């Protein structure tokens, strides 16, 4: 219900209450004169009017057509004047008379008739006589007239409300677009996408100064399609363009066009553009355009349904017989691959802008934007947070800082510290901690060895990122987790890196087999992710010698009605080879994981002891274990660190109080020595690891080229992003570039 209808209902209710009060007043509280008989032929105490007059009990009379209003005999002159002004209210008695009765003559002859009465004379009351033909006294009808007027007003409003409802029922063809004349969003509110800004600034400049472009024969793009993963700021970009241009901004969702009535969508499209023409120049923004712009002919039987009519009308309005110069159509979707080709041609959506997840620099800028109204401690480093949030979208980063603010408020702190933000990262990635969950010692032991297996392999393999956190505290659906931190963002992933990542994913299952001589269901997610990576290596990325450089990712999702199943671009014989290659990759990686963990059993046992005692360890503790420190030494170090933290909390928050938990990694000299000592143990027996000299050389090379180190993007997400990219733009080679939107799950191993 809209605001006007609500106000109308309140007005009707108020008038109804007033009417009821007036009627009740007239019925019960309005003083009425006592009705008496006109004739004197009344016995007992109930005297008639004539009898009361002759007895001297009447002081004033008011005679009209059919009634006589009488005032009691002891009334003062002031009361008599008030009586004549409003006889119907002030009268004491009222008697009905025949208009033919000559009452005036009776009063004139009354004195002569009563002169012989013993004891004196009768006082004839004062009187006012209205001619019977003069009409009625309007003063006596004022309240009934008001009541009738109120009734008429109430009835009028009720009918108007019903008519408005009927009009609304018939106005389903009107657009539901919301018009905003003053958009407050600016480009300064959008961070992490400088190239996208430059593309959109051209539109702003054209709207402000079109002569500069028209002089060169250029035309403004009629439509701009913003494509990208959810949460990357597509809608925010559209608002920023409207705010910078200072033009009217129409916003509507694609699902607002189509309803159950036939022709509703097309009618709303026409009405939308009619409204836009009245406010030119303006911007029309259609969010989630894939709801109405899906490829035609995809319905069951390829019929002409309501959605297709809406799309046809939209195509005509964007570039048809009518010119819509001054109307810029902006749309957003994360499913550009399913849009109709006619919608994407030049003249409609001339420009497609891909809004990807931000890189390291972009994430840092976005964090600064979303932290404007939040008090932060001195220890908060946006550079460190940007490195740790690889794959996070703008919405994820905003949610991260919001979670951190909630955690700080929960702890009754006045500022947000680094520890709050780190916990917010874990909440966004894996969910909140479930410390209250009852976990048996058996499950805890399996989880500890499982996560230790991931952490050890991730630490030892060159292409895996540094281990940031290992925990056996349940989060979300995971019984434990291992988080890694990428050094930077990159779009290319090598085969060796993929093999190392699969090996790390299978490290949990390998640790279970080594220690408990059995396997559990906790590795289901690891196996699923590893299998997806291996499958894409063989079928999409050409990383199998048996298959070669062939793209076999023909398992396409199809529209219902076009096909009823999936299609395969390879034969059954080739399918068997593919299955064997996938299995070979997984088996080799699993065997490799078993070998690594068996050679580092002591480190794994010590890590499990620490996890049993403290539940969670970080980079610094992991490095200490690989330096040969015992579990007792690491536990003592954690206790000391926790004591320092508590001291800082009592004395006031300082940078050092939090930075103890975010030490990125140990010094390179120590790290090289640690890696060299551990890989020396395995060099002669396992070809997986290189000799100490080679390791030292690689560590030095890594120190020199730290900025070029590959990221730890989760490949299953990268793979999905790659497939989406190649399906929408077939010109890009498969497996080369992957979306950073998939990196936020990197290093997370769910149980």
Residues with catalytic annotation? 451
- Residue pair 374/405 in contact (Cβ under 8 Å)? The answer is yes
Give strand ranges (E) for 442-593.
466-471, 481-485
Letter string b/e over residues 682-693, b meaning 16 or more CB atoms within 10 A of that residue's CB: bbeeeebbbebe
- Residue pair 446/520 in contact (Cβ under 8 Å)? The answer is yes
Classified as helix, coil or strand, 488 is: coil
In eight-state DSSP terms, residue 65 is S
Residue 277 phi/psi, 5° resolution? -65, -30
Q: How far is CA 464 from the centre of its chain?
A: 36
d(CA 695, CA 704): 14
3-state helix, strand, coil in the chain (%, to 5): 55, 10, 35
Count CB neighbours of 628 within 10 A.
13
Quick one: CA dihedral 148, 153, 158, 163, positive or negative? Answer: positive
d(CA 164, CA 314): 29
Classified as helix, coil or strand, 720 is: helix
DSSP string, 408-477: HHHTT-SSB-HHHHHHHHHHHHH--B-TTS---HHHHHHHHHHHHHHHHHHHHSTTSPEEEEEE-S-BTT
Count CB neighbours of 378 within 10 A.
12
- Residue pair 68/76 in contact (Cβ under 8 Å)? The answer is no
d(CA 746, CA 501): 10
Q: Which residues contact 520 (CB under 8 A, 6 or more apart)?
A: 446, 450, 512
Beta partners for residue 616, in sequence order: 471
Packing angle, helices 441-460 and 619-626, rounded to 10: 80
Beta partners for residue 617, in sequence order: 470
Q: Secondary structure of 214-256 in the HEC alphabet?
A: HCCCCCCCCEEEEECCCCCCHHHHHHHHHHHHCCCEEEEEHHH
For the record, the structure tokens of 625 come out as 């274990």
- Residue pair 596/688 in contact (Cβ under 8 Å)? The answer is yes
Angle at CA of residue 136, ends 130 and 139, nearest 5°:
100
Classified as helix, coil or strand, 156 is: helix
d(CA 504, CA 461): 8
d(CA 344, CA 340): 7
d(CA 460, CA 498): 15
For the record, the structure tokens of 149 come out as 């007027």
- Residue pair 328/277 in contact (Cβ under 8 Å)? The answer is no
d(CA 255, CA 269): 12
Classified as helix, coil or strand, 618 is: strand
Kindly state the helix (H) or strand (E) to which residue 624 belongs, with its residue range.
Answer: helix 619-626
d(CA 506, CA 526): 6
Q: Which residues contact 376 (CB under 8 A, 6 or more apart)?
A: 415, 416
Strand order, beta sheet including 93-96: 34-36, 93-96, 67-72, 58-63, 126-129
For the record, the structure tokens of 669 come out as 């000299």
Kindly state the helix (H) or strand (E) to which residue 489 belongs, with its residue range.
Answer: none
For the record, the structure tokens of 62 come out as 């008011």
Q: Is 243 exposed, middle or buried (0-12, 13-18, 19+ CB in 10 A)?
A: buried
């Amino acid at each position: 219900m809209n605001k006007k209808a609500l106000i109308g209902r309140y007005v009707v209710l108020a008038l109804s209450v007033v009417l009821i009060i007036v009627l009740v007043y007239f019925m019960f509280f309005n003083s009425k004169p006592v009705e008496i008989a006109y004739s004197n032929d009344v016995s007992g105490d109930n005297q008639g009017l004539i009898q009361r007059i002759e007895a001297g009990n009447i002081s004033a009379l008011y005679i009209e057509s059919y009634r006589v209003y009488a005032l009691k005999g002891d009334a003062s002159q002031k009361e008599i004047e008030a009586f004549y002004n409003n006889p119907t209210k002030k009268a004491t008695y009222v008697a009905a008379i025949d208009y033919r009765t000559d009452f005036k003559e009776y009063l004139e002859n009354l004195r002569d008739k009563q002169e012989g009465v013993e004891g004196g004379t009768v006082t004839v009351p004062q009187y006012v006589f209205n001619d019977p033909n003069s009409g009625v006294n309007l003063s006596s009808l004022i309240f009934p007239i008001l009541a009738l007027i109120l009734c008429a007003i109430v009835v009028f409003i009720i009918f108007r409300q019903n008519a408005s409802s009927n009009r609304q029922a018939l106005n389903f063809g009107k657009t539901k677009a919301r018009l905003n004349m003053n958009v407050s969003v600016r480009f300064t509110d959008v961070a992490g996408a400088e190239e996208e800004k430059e593309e959109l600034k051209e539109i702003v400049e054209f709207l402000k100064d079109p002569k500069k472009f028209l002089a060169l024969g250029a035309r403004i793009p009629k439509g701009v399609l913003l494509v990208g993963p959810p949460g990357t700021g597509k809608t925010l970009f559209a608002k920023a363009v409207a705010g910078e241009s200072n033009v009217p901004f129409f916003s509507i969702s694609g699902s607002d066009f189509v309803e159950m009535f036939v022709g509703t969508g097309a009618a709303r499209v026409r009405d939308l553009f009619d409204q836009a023409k009245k406010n030119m120049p303006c911007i029309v923004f259609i969010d989630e355009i894939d709801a109405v712009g899906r490829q035609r002919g995809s319905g069951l039987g390829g019929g002409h349904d309501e959605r297709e009519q809406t799309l046809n009308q939209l195509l005509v309005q964007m570039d048809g017989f009518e010119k819509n110069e001054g109307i810029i159509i902006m749309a957003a979707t994360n499913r550009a691959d399913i849009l109709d080709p006619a919608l994407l041609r030049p003249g409609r959506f001339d420009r497609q802008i891909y809004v990807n997840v931000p890189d390291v620099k972009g994430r840092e800028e976005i964090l600064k934007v979303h932290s404007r109204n939040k008090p932060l401690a001195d220890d908060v480093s946006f550079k460190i947070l940007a490195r740790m949030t690889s794959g996070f979208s703008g919405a994820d980063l905003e949610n991260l800082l919001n979670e951190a603010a909630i955690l700080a408020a929960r702890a009754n702190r006045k500022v947000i510290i680094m520890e709050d933000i780190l916990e917010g990262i874990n909440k966004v990635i894996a969910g909140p901690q479930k410390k209250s969950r009852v976990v048996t010692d058996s499950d805890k032991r399996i989880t500890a060895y499982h996560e230790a297996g991931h952490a050890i392999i991730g630490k030892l393999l060159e292409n895996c990122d540094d281990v940031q956190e290992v925990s056996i505290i349940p989060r979300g659906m995971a019984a434990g987790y291992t988080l890694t931190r990428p050094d930077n963002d990159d779009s290319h992933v090598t085969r060796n890196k993929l093999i190392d990542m699969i090996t790390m994913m299978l490290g949990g299952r390998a640790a279970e087999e080594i220690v408990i001589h059995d396997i559990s269901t906790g590795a289901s997610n690891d196996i699923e992710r590893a299998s997806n990576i291996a499958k894409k290596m063989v079928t999409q990325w050409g990383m199998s010698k048996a298959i070669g450089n062939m793209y076999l990712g023909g398992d396409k999702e199809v529209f219902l009605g076009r096909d009823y199943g999936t299609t395969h671009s390879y034969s059954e014989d080739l399918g068997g080879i593919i299955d064997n290659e996938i299995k070979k990759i997984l088996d080799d990686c699993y065997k490799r994981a078993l070998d690594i963990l068996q050679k580092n059993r002591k480190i794994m046992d010590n890590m499990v002891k620490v996890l049993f005692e403290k539940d969670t360890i970080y980079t610094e503790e992991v490095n200490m274990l690989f330096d040969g420190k015992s579990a007792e030494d690491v536990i003592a170090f954690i206790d000391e660190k926790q004591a320092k933290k508590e001291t800082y909390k009592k004395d006031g928050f300082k940078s050092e109080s939090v930075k103890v938990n975010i030490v990125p990694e140990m010094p390179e000299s120590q790290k090289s020595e640690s890696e060299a000592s551990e890989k020396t143990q395995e060099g002669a027996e396992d070809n997986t690891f290189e000799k100490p000299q080679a390791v030292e050389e690689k560590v030095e090379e890594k120190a020199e080229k730290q900025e070029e180190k590959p990221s730890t993007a989760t490949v299953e997400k990268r793979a999905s992003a790659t497939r989406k990219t190649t399906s929408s733009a077939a010109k890009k080679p498969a497996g080369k570039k992957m979306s950073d939107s998939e990196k936020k799950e990197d290093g997370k191993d769910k149980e």
